[in-house]
Chain A
């Protein structure tokens, strides 16, 4: 059974700092990995999707990497801003083509202080 772990559970940084969020998964047979952002009491916003054949994806100040063989992904946020404060979730989709169910980590609660 796939398990997804996110470390740290919470992180507080001053504005402007670069930071890294970590995600690990136990079964490396994944189809893709997706990073989401969730604001309190709200739904999920997709940030980056990395296919199993890719090593990284970038969008603006965000960069996500994937090391499938070691079961790890990182989300790098450059020059953090107070508006980045949210919970960040990673989720993996299993390989095999026909299974679209995501397994989520518990998330990292990020606070960026002005």
Chain B
């Protein structure tokens, strides 16, 4: 298994500002992802964080709004830029590893609850 530390756990931000969320995994992992969970909704994948290269974004999400870094196999950051109240959500970091053909279990951090006012 993997333990994922995510911070901050929550924040209240002014519109127009940016927030960077950090994700640290306690072991080297192959894949890291960032998800958004809007109030009352399920999880939506924002992007796959690629080590040493640009993240791969899902439809509807762009790098200018959600820049992502992944400098090594255990750490990633997500920035929510130029925030508006519509960005109020829980943001979740996820990690997964491959071990041969089996065991691609996904693990999640505790989430960052963001409120934009």
Tell me the A residues contacting B by CB distance below 8 Å.
31-32, 34, 36, 41-46, 49, 51, 89, 91, 93, 100-102, 104-107
Contacts and interface: CB of A to CB of B under 8 A. Distances in A.
B23 to A, nearest CB: 11
Contacts of B48: 100-101
Contacts of A44: 43, 92, 94, 108
Contacts, number: 57
Nearest to A34: B106
B28 interface: no
B6 A91 contact: no
Nearest to B103: A49
B109 A43 contact: yes
Given A49-B105, A51-B102, A100-B96, A106 B110 contact: no
Contacts of B110: 42-43
Interface residues of B, number: 27
Task: Tell me whether chain A's interface is mostly helix, strand or loop, or mixed.
Answer: strand
B15 interface: no
Task: Tell me whether chain B's interface is mostly helix, strand or loop, or mixed.
Answer: strand
B36 to A, nearest CB: 12
Contacts of A43: 4, 6, 92, 108-111
Interface in B97-114: 102-111, 113
Contact of A104 (B4, B10, B42, B111): B42
20 contacts: A36-B108, A41-B10, A41-B90, A42-B111, A43-B109, A43-B110, A44-B92, A44-B94, A46-B105, A46-B108, A49-B103, A91-B43, A100-B31, A100-B48, A100-B96, A101-B45, A101-B48, A102-B43, A102-B94, A105-B42
